[in-house]
Structure 1
């Protein structure tokens, strides 16, 4: 069994079910299957082989699901890129995994066009909307990389399923996650591991059927795609948003009677705080999986009041998912009698295990903090191209070391206390301080810098740069923020800058004590949070 079989069965046996709604248009499962087959045949005809890496770039759109389904069907390895990252980061990620092909929308192609030849492995770019934008089907001999129009190619190839043999342990996709230096690393998932994730989602959530409608509100390049194969397996409908906007989300839930969605806590907070939400009928919602970031008790209480008894809180990471789940029943108990549950990340999912390990690798007793180690249905195969990093993340028993600090109570509930390498999770996205610090430190006026996460009412956490300037030099907060926006993108820039005149705290060997800085910057009354995937 492989993930391609999922779309193959739904496309053949539930062909008339609507698979996608987007911006007033729709696509049935039969059409999705045919277009997925056409995508496979396009790539094969152009010399791309199964297990070659294919990067995808662009916001959610009508074709997002056919990219996911088609690449799985053909045995290609999907490399989803987030469209808000910088050009430099896109090029690094494509190069790092040796992708031969990029599938991209026209606006993002225009941003990358002049630099595509910088990626040695890249041979082919398929652009959505290239012909409509006047780009033709290619650009002649001006570039080494071939640039072709996606839709025109799909119309010219055969629609039959080439029935590619895909083995369960073949690679399915890679998800980028930063390392301790802030340098992105790619975790590898196989068809077998992702089918295990799919099965676990179908067990831990309420039953999914062909009558379900999923609101894909977040980027399908990230957490929003986690349950996609469970939905495809049941031929459920998928209402796709280009980007999240709370008023529009509430409107779509009511219009399409959406039953399930995956939202980061920021989106939940925005949805329940949107004034127009109160005027919408959201009673169709039966499951809202919150993942990807810390969530406040206040947000949990407000969501329960507005959305009802539908909230699931999940914990995991791209290296291993899902690990734990806090169910609506447990949240209900937390609201009624046991508030400590609202600070928990839940208990192990049916086929996951969680341990807390001390510095020597010994298992900690209940209540004692240590590093969280998880063994999940979706354990990664490896960190791409880095055997040493891969080995450092696994215990001898096959548990993944999460680098998060926490503890288990006597009942098996997981509580997150800290992030081992001070990662900032802002609006569901991982931001590593080292990357932001490198950008700030490059400013000519900056002597030293520490970047820490501080509470934010909308994003959960947000980066703050604590800066010491060079003698005789000046810089403003706006100048530092803009400097970072230009170098690492809007998503990772600090949203505030604190200037200090004294040196930053350091250990006896001169190592920056970022945790001390964070404690100094984190308000004492900020309230407790739990962590997400």
Structure 2
């Protein structure tokens, strides 16, 4: 891939792709097919509409839309005029939305009818000066079509890709109150889209299947922008469904299938999985949350593709990837090595670098790093230093060759009677149990030991188990002090919009049930 793309803004990425691939298809949203030229034309019209509303460089524009074609147009149009996207899930509850809007202070909110189920448009207008509706009509509010038809033009503004922000991405809040991560253009284009695309050898012959939400860093950068950067075709999925994913791979000859672990695991469970023609698949990335080695191998084998693991977070975009042509053992068992332009070190509690093989906090330095948390200087200072390092709160190890292994979150670590227990280690064992679909290990309070281990399990459809069976299974595979003192079975987990299990919410629920019980 052309290294000059690393210096482009988000809009420049589309502009170049339109010149190079004009009449080629860029998006199929299961209803219509759009070319690169058509996408850029729509983006330019919407940019003019936004300009007519007084949106200038640096202004915030909140966007709460599903994976629709209009969402893609909105993202690139905002980028063209140098404004800042504030994307969030239409499924967020009232208090989540209000907090984001009050913190970001956007001039406009672009939303759809689904959003109105939780926060009425009129209520939003008490926080945001104007609301624009998409695929719905609300009396007194302008629509997406109104903006498209203003007839105004908008000049492309000059963007400093290192300094100017493309978006404020609000963290999902799995470990606390969401914070607005200030993400510059360079992080999304250079670090994630272009670098990751190069690492898995993407080109204009590829077809991306995108179900990861576009309001999340993984869906936006590693999927959408990566596809556009390489001139690829996109099959855009509004609502994830495992059967639909397999059908689209077969119908559209998808070559790149990236997603969170839960997506692949659900697809493997589809009845008659082996009857689908998945032979077009070439590669993909699994990321956004941990996945056991045995599951990586199963996905690679049964999908017949070169699935790579990647580690990245909102504050740093993509950090590592398992090299495309690496040996399978490294791809299955590690998160790979640092991407070009990224440095990683493992540090102790004093932020001193640890030798290879020792467990510590993962620290990251690179052009994908955020510019800080919006309006939160103290929180920014707590996780960064003057040399440009970001301290992730994630625990891991690095071997002599630079391969990273993820151990878990610092805040998720369980301390039982003074002994450190890493939930992911137990989770990795339980995912190999033939009856287990998904699992979360959490710490619950204990008067004597401080904390003990609780295993929360979701079983495969039609399967039954017991606490005794699970403990017996674990007793043969892990040390006694790591054994759960309690096993809870659940039909579903509380998850974020990107598919991560919300362990803090789960812990609160389980702890409350134990206390009441």
User: What is the TM-score normalised by the length of structure 2?
Assistant: 0.77
From 494, 509, 514, give the equivalent of 2:506.
494
From 127, 134, 137, give the equivalent of 1:128.
134
Provide closer, same or farther for how the CA distance between residues 232 and 342 of structure 1 changes in structure 2, counting only shifts above 3 A. closer
**Counterpart-to-counterpart distance in 1, 2:211 and 2:121:** 32
**Counterpart-to-counterpart distance in 2, 1:154 and 1:501:** 55
Provide closer, same or farther for how the CA distance between residues 163 and 298 of structure 1 changes in structure 2, counting only shifts above 3 A. same
Provide closer, same or farther for how the CA distance between residues 3 and 453 of structure 1 changes in structure 2, counting only shifts above 3 A. farther
Task: Give the conservation status (yes or no) of the 8 Å contact 1:187–1:383.
Answer: yes
Task: Give the conservation status (yes or no) of the 8 Å contact 1:321–1:377.
Answer: no
**Counterpart-to-counterpart distance in 2, 1:275 and 1:180:** 32
Provide closer, same or farther for how the CA distance between residues 260 and 352 of structure 1 changes in structure 2, counting only shifts above 3 A. same
Provide closer, same or farther for how the CA distance between residues 2 and 181 of structure 1 changes in structure 2, counting only shifts above 3 A. closer
**Counterpart-to-counterpart distance in 2, 1:61 and 1:258:** 19
Task: Give the conservation status (yes or no) of the 8 Å contact 1:321–1:376.
Answer: no
Aligned length: 443
**Cα offset for 1:266?**
0.6
Q: 1:230: which partner in 2?
A: 226
1:304 equivalent in alignment to 2:317 = no
Q: 1:528: which partner in 2?
A: none
**Counterpart-to-counterpart distance in 1, 2:64 and 2:329:** 42
From 160, 173, 179, give the equivalent of 1:167.
160
Provide closer, same or farther for how the CA distance between residues 110 and 35 of structure 1 changes in structure 2, counting only shifts above 3 A. farther
Q: 1:250: which partner in 2?
A: 246
**Counterpart-to-counterpart distance in 1, 2:98 and 2:190:** 31
Task: Give the conservation status (yes or no) of the 8 Å contact 2:344–2:362.
Answer: yes
**Counterpart-to-counterpart distance in 1, 2:175 and 2:289:** 21
Provide closer, same or farther for how the CA distance between residues 386 and 106 of structure 1 changes in structure 2, counting only shifts above 3 A. same
Task: Give the conservation status (yes or no) of the 8 Å contact 1:40–1:73.
Answer: yes
Q: 2:346: which partner in 1?
A: 356
Q: 2:418: which partner in 1?
A: none
**Counterpart-to-counterpart distance in 2, 1:37 and 1:64:** 14
Deviations, residues 419-439 of structure 1 (Å, cap 9, x unaligned): 11229999xxxx9x99xx9xx
1:387-466 alignment runs, 5 A limit: 387-422=377-412, 454=456, 456=458
**Counterpart-to-counterpart distance in 2, 1:371 and 1:52:** 35
Task: Give the conservation status (yes or no) of the 8 Å contact 1:105–1:129.
Answer: yes
What is the RMSD of the two structures over their aligned residues, measured on CA atoms? 3.5
From 277, 282, 286, give the equivalent of 1:281.
277
Provide closer, same or farther for how the CA distance between residues 18 and 502 of structure 1 changes in structure 2, counting only shifts above 3 A. closer
**Cα offset for 1:457?**
6.2
Deviations, residues 415-461 of structure 1 (Å, cap 9, x unaligned): 222211229999xxxx9x99xx9xxxxxxxxxxx9998845568xxx
1:8 equivalent in alignment to 2:15 = yes
1:205 equivalent in alignment to 2:218 = no
Runs (5+) with no aligned partner, structure 2: 1-7, 414-422, 428-439, 446-450, 461-487
Q: 2:310: which partner in 1?
A: 314
Q: 1:378: which partner in 2?
A: 368
Deviations, residues 27-73 of structure 1 (Å, cap 9, x unaligned): 11111111111111111111121211111112211212112211111
**Cα offset for 1:395?**
2.9
Q: 1:466: which partner in 2?
A: none
Deviations, residues 380-425 of structure 1 (Å, cap 9, x unaligned): 1111111121122113321210111121122222122221122999
Provide closer, same or farther for how the CA distance between residues 117 and 285 of structure 1 changes in structure 2, counting only shifts above 3 A. closer
User: What is the TM-score normalised by the length of structure 1?
Assistant: 0.75
Deviations, residues 171-229 of structure 1 (Å, cap 9, x unaligned): 101211257971110111111222221232133222x2222211111211112112322
Runs (5+) with no aligned partner, structure 1: 139-146, 335-340, 438-448, 459-476, 504-533
Task: Give the conservation status (yes or no) of the 8 Å contact 2:93–2:119.
Answer: no
1:157 equivalent in alignment to 2:151 = yes
Provide closer, same or farther for how the CA distance between residues 224 and 450 of structure 1 changes in structure 2, counting only shifts above 3 A. farther
Task: Give the conservation status (yes or no) of the 8 Å contact 1:219–1:243.
Answer: no
Provide closer, same or farther for how the CA distance between residues 359 and 88 of structure 1 changes in structure 2, counting only shifts above 3 A. same
Instruction: State the secondary structure of the residue aligned to 1:35.
Output: helix
Instruction: State the secondary structure of the residue aligned to 2:179.
Output: strand
